[in-house]
Structure 1
Amino acid sequence: MSIPTGIDRLDERLDGGVLPGTLFVITLPPGGEYIPLIRDGLKARRAVILTSLKSETLIRKMLERSGVGLEDVALAELDPGKAPETIPATLDTLDSSTSLYVNAADPIEKSVPTDLYVDLMNLVSERLYEVGTTGYLSCYRDGEPRYNRTVTLNVADFVVEIERVHEAGRLTHRLRVPKANGVALTESDRTFEVTIDQAPPGA
């Protein structure tokens, strides 16, 4: 059984979604947001969101503006330095109907020593597979070199790069999928554009 990502054009290319146990890494330009892109996935499944950059209140506001109900979303702020303890404890609460979202990986990459970070990322991937659910880590392409980013990308099953493109007065997101383990995507399937309806829910 496949699990939808919430990005319709990607799910179409994946015959409805990804296999349980898939770990996604979503890379963004500075200031970029990914929640509006995956809102359909958040509407369809329960979610645990750990936020290391924005406050719980700001994430809640973003979800509400994207039309995502909060009744099936558990939010918690994450101290990056305590991620090796907090994230495993959170993984223990997951079941196959609940996906994990970490927003964002950058402070964790900077705060956690590489040996501990390698162990943490492997544990996340293994636990998602054992439970039969999906996980999403967002991170920013800020041009700052750090070895732990290499670890993040290596452990991921999928890597999705997002770019913002302004065309004809509208904001379009260009998505590229450079890594898709276990999926045969053609080159044309790996790059596509998504336009987000910016109107508030009910408008």
Structure 2
Amino acid sequence: MSRRLPTGIDVLDRRLDGGIPAGSVVTLSASPASQSELLLYELTVSRETLYLTTERSSEAVLDALERTNAPTGSPEIRHVAGEAPLDGINRLLGTLPQESTLLIDPVDALERRELGRYRRFLNGLQTAMVNTESVAVLHCLSGRSPPAGRDLTEYMADVVFSLDTRVSGESIENRLAVPKFRGGRALSETIKLELGDRVRIDTSRDIA
């Protein structure tokens, strides 16, 4: 079994036999209206983290990290935008420390680029993760109009996390699925999460 890097989220690490294989590219697919950002913030705990934001300013991300009650690390936050975001990220990949975490939030802006260039970027990202024994997490917004490159993102990814958030009356239910896991085993059941001030297991019972 490949060496695992802990995510920093205890509930995930227990279910994933210790964490994510070093060198992996992971996607986290979630609704834009969900609390998926809590998962991202807690992923900064375990290791040095480079947090690349493509939509919000770096100041907005830093403010959100400082206001959250979830445990966080002290990530380096960089805003990557403009006409050539892929070039900007490629330059930053060369500065990534060994055994670190790279977060791209969200990856949608990159998925809208020409597919050939985006494919080359994903291949280069995979190589960078393997060479540095790191983990990359690509935050994918599962909105009404997913970008053209979404299928390519999920195909190239080693691990796929899918967060399903459902609102029913006065209740909100969050279930995390792991349908794809290269270098390990995909989960046969979803994980019911409570996403309030931090990431916890939802211990409420399902009522048929």
- The normalised TM-score by structure 1 is 0.85
Report if aligned partners of 1:171, 1:196 keep a CA contact under 8 Å in 2.
no
In the TM superposition, what are the counterparts of 1:112-123 in structure 2 within 5 Å? 112-123=113-124
- Paired letter, 2:194: T
Query: Does structure 1 residue 131 correspond to structure 2 residue 132?
Result: yes
Aligned length: 195
Q: What percent of counterpart residues are identical? A: 24
- The normalised TM-score by structure 2 is 0.84
CA distance in 2, matches of 1:92, 1:179: 28
- Post-superposition offset of 1:167: 7.3
Does 60-69 or 88-97 show the bigger shift?
A: 60-69
Q: CA offsets per residue over residues 152-201 of structure 1, 9 Å max, x none?
A: 1111011111122457966542101121112123512xx111113428xx
- Paired letter, 1:136: V
Within the candidate set 28, 32, 40, 1:30 is matched to 32
Report if aligned partners of 2:40, 2:103 keep a CA contact under 8 Å in 1.
no
Q: CA offsets per residue over residues 72-93 of structure 1, 9 Å max, x none?
A: 3111111163122111111111
- Post-superposition offset of 1:98: 2.1
SS of 2:91's equivalent?
A: helix
Change (3 A) 1:186 1:174: closer
CA distance in 2, matches of 1:159, 1:81: 28
CA distance in 1, matches of 2:39, 2:171: 15
Structure 1's unaligned 5+ residue stretches are none
CA distance in 1, matches of 2:169, 2:8: 26
Structure with more of its chain in helix, by fraction: 1
Residue equivalent to 2:150: 149
- Paired letter, 1:30: P
- Paired letter, 1:49: Y
Query: Does structure 1 residue 20 correspond to structure 2 residue 22?
Result: yes
CA distance in 2, matches of 1:54, 1:20: 28
Change (3 A) 1:89 1:129: same
Residue equivalent to 2:10: 8
Residue equivalent to 2:194: 195
Measured on the aligned residues, the alpha-carbon RMSD in Å equals: 2.2
- Paired letter, 1:124: L
CA distance in 1, matches of 2:31, 2:146: 15
CA distance in 2, matches of 1:145, 1:42: 26
In the TM superposition, what are the counterparts of 1:12-91 in structure 2 within 5 Å? 12-67=14-69, 68=71, 72-79=74-81, 81-91=83-93
Change (3 A) 1:31 1:166: closer
Report if aligned partners of 2:55, 2:81 keep a CA contact under 8 Å in 1.
no
